[in-house]
């Protein structure tokens, strides 16, 4: 009898980033965070000059840095200036989440 393969389920939530100041043509929209399994990365979605970008920017939450960057110097400077507020929004979301017991964290 073959055993059933366990397929892990990835669960994400979207965190609103509206209200963070706009600069260098960049407006932060939302961040996708991984809540199960606990993955220390996020994807930040943004618009550039009013056009929503299909690919978001990856963020390493452990190192608290953007992994993706802009070629434009003004945009890169703005990204670095906005980084603390973007991270604060993401970490505030995690602080508001209930802590699951190990038996609750994995689907049956």
35 burial level (CB within 10 Å; 0-12, 13-18, 19+): middle
* Predicted pLDDT at 31: 97
Q: For 96, which DSSP code?
A: T
Q: For 64, which DSSP code?
A: T
Residue-by-residue pLDDT tens, the chain, 108 positions: 455 565 566 788 999 999 999 999 999 999 999 987 778 999 999 999 999 999 999 999 999 999 999 999 999 999 999 999 999 999 999 888 876 554 454 444
The domain segmentation of the chain, as residue ranges, is 11-95
33 burial level (CB within 10 Å; 0-12, 13-18, 19+): buried
| Helix extents (H) in the chain | 73-95, 102-105
- Let me know: does 69 contact 55? Beta carbons within 8 Å: no
């Amino acid at each position: 009898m073959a055993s059933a393969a366990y397929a892990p389920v990835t669960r994400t939530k979207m965190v609103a980033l509206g209200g963070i100041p706009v600069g260098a043509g960049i407006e932060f929209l939302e961040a996708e965070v991984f809540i199960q399994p606990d993955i220390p990365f996020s994807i930040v979605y943004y618009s550039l000059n009013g056009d929503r970008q299909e690919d978001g920017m990856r963020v390493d939450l452990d190192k608290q840095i953007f992994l993706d960057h802009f070629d434009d110097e003004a945009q890169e400077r703005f990204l670095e200036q906005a980084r603390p507020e973007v991270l604060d929004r993401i970490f505030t979301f995690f602080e508001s989440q209930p802590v699951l017991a190990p038996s609750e964290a994995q689907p049956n």
